Amino acid sequence: MGNMKYETLRGLSLPKIGFGAWRIGGNSSPNPSLDSKSLTALRSTLEVGYTHFDTAESYADGHSEELVGEAVRESGKNREELFITSKVTPSHLKYDDVLKACEGSLRRLSMDYIDLYLIHWPGTGTNYEETFRALNKLVRDGKVKHLGVSNFDLKLLKQAQSLSETPILTNQVPFSISDRSYVNNGVLDYCQQNDILFTAYSPVDEGNLRSNKILEATAKAHNATVFQIALAWVISHPRVITIPMSFDPQHIKENFEAAEIGLTKEEVELLTSK
């Protein structure tokens, strides 16, 4: 079913499978005892060939960004070869706070620019005109290349589109074989019709994927794991990319290789109807 490895959009080629750096460096606060485990995971991703890294200022309260930056520097890879996503937290959506949040992320990543900057969650009572005035400035100033949103429903996504001076690149939302809430609310279809990438997070339900006979049979047929089949199903959808997370170098490699699995139309339909 075509090239499973990339989505190409507005001259950008983004890998179907990137790495989500949630839990890298801790959960909601930094956990230095996880540093070596986190760096081992990040080194594996860079060795395997991941180029899209997704982090956020709220992940381990900024420590995830620090570790991503450290691993990238240590790898010696060209910054231009990588695509780095980070996110501004809902409590930082006022004009000055957005600018300050981005400066903080750039400092922790130790980078001059962020490829994709997202509003992490809708904020209660947010004045999005003010938020986007700051986000648009960041793009004009070259600190951010592309803007996007996360966890936005259709109404908010359309509002973001109307306020952004540059095309909204993505809406990052939960999506997996078992979670189709953003299919049911019309967001997936809208993204596909309007050339917006749909970035699936928790594509294997954070490792709690419930298996079934169809998944197992498909995995056997492809000599793959059920997790790989679940990822292959997610990215079989046009305009969909995903960012699985793992600390385990073996799983990190398997997740990346799931992009090579070409499910047949029949297999996709069977898994979908499940």
What integer pLDDT is reported at residue 189 of this predicted model? 98
Q: How far apart are CA 63 and CA 208, in angstroms?
A: 25
Rounded to an integer, what distance in angstroms lies between the CA atom of residue 23 and that of residue 206? 11
Question: What pLDDT is attached to residue 4?
Answer: 63
CA 205 to CA 100: how far, in whole Å? 33
Fold annotation for 13-207+240-247? TIM Barrel (3.20.20)
Q: Is the pTM of this model over 0.75?
A: yes
Q: Of the residues 59, 117, 182, 201, which is catalytic?
A: 59
- Running along the chain, 274 residues long, what does each successive block of 10 average in pLDDT? 75 96 96 97 98 98 98 97 98 98 98 98 96 98 98 98 98 97 98 98 89 95 97 97 97 97 96 87
The strands making up 83-88's β-sheet, listed across from edge to edge, are 19-20, 52-54, 83-88, 114-119, 144-150, 170-174, 197-201, 240-242
Which pLDDT score is estimated for 192? Answer: 98
What is the CA 37 to chain-centroid distance, rounded?
21
Alpha helices (H) along 176-263: 181-184, 187-193, 213-221, 226-235, 249-257
Q: What is the DSSP string of 176-192?
A: -SS--HHHHTSHHHHHH
> Residue ranges per domain, the chain?
13-207+240-247
- Say if CB 240 and CB 234 are below 8 A apart: yes
- What integer pLDDT is reported at residue 2 of this predicted model? 43
Determine whether 59 is an active site residue.
yes
